[in-house]
Amino acid sequence: MPDVTARPYEFNLDINRAALLIIDMQRDFVEPGGFGEMLGNDVAQLRPSIVPLQALLAKARQAGLFVMHTREGHKPDLSDLHEAKRVRGRGSKTIGDAGPMGRILIIGEPGHDIIPELYPVAGEPVIDKPGKGAFYNTELADIIAEHGIGQLIVCGVTTEVCVHTTVREANDRGIDCLVVSDCTASYFPEFHEAALRMVAAQGGIFGWVADSASVIAALTEPAEPAIS
Ligand code: C5J
């Protein structure tokens, strides 16, 4: 597999050890009436990431890359919701309250679901996470160990919150992360840019950054012929 052109230097993609990890592309973050909008955000800011991510997801599936999805949310009885998270923001509505897409950020409600454009297919694990990081209180570490994964191609929303937290968690577990710049997004474009710069700064302190065209190009190249 050829290297992916990336910052701060090329990423040695090994498709047999890599997985695509799509973070929280849920209606609650991307569509009006959900958790993201409840916090006062302009959800339209996240939409430009959808089309590039659709293309990358299609290529990843075609190339046989292992694909995983995450969803941020909580059990209907809120037993996995810290009071600190529930009250944060002092809004008139909070997690678990009724909204136009059902109870906000609650597993099983329409708003908690992944957007139709990026819906998982059979065989792709969907990891429900109560926190911002995908490792906290989830089965992700077990799935990674079981599949021998050492590289994560990370996409999704939002760049500086759940994507960043997950990349930092993965980095501390010895996993190389490649963050895809146009397949991630933030409600704050300046935070998106800064978050990407933070990943690749200092020689790749948290990992690498590449655009989807570079990742797709690497996935398109035929594998090196085996030496007999
Ligand atoms: C946030 C996330 N921003 N998926 N969640 O609360 O980034």
Active-site position among 28, 113, 128, 129? 129
Q: For ligand 1, atom 2, which residue shows the shortest CA distance?
A: 162
User: Contact 4/211 with Cβ under 8 angstroms?
Assistant: no
- The percent of residues in the chain predicted with pLDDT above 70, rounded, is 97
Average pLDDT for 30-54: 96
CA atoms within 13 A on the CB side of 22: 30
Task: pLDDT band for 2, please (50, 70, 90 cuts).
Answer: confident
**DSSP 8-class letter at 176:** E
CA–CA separation, 163 and 23 (whole Å): 6
pLDDT for 179 beyond 80: yes
Q: What rounded mean pLDDT belongs to the chain? A: 96
**Phi, psi values for residue 55, rounded to 5°:** -65, -45
Average pLDDT for 109-119: 98
Q: How much is the pTM?
A: 0.96
Buried b (16+ CB within 10 A) or exposed e, 165-192: bbbbbbbeeebbbbbbbbbbbbbbeeeb
72 in contact with ligand 1, CB cutoff 6 A: yes
Q: Answer yes or no: 28 catalytic.
A: no
162 in contact with ligand 1, CB cutoff 6 A: yes
CA–CA separation, 139 and 84 (whole Å): 23
Average pLDDT for 151-157: 99
30 in contact with ligand 1, CB cutoff 6 A: no
Q: For residue 227, what pLDDT is reported? A: 60
CA 41–ligand 1 middle distance (angstroms) = 11
Q: For residue 221, what pLDDT is reported? A: 77
pLDDT for 223 beyond 60: no
Nearest ligand 1 atom to the CA of 187 is 3
CA 163–ligand 1 middle distance (angstroms) = 8
Average pLDDT for 31-58: 96
Helices (H), the chain: 27-30, 35-38, 50-63, 83-87, 140-146, 164-172, 189-204, 212-220
Average pLDDT for 154-175: 98
For the beta carbon of residue 30, count every other beta carbon within 10 angstroms.
Answer: 25
User: Contact 130/74 with Cβ under 8 angstroms?
Assistant: yes
pLDDT in tens, 45-101: 999 999 999 999 999 999 999 999 999 999 999 999 999 999 998 989 999 999 999
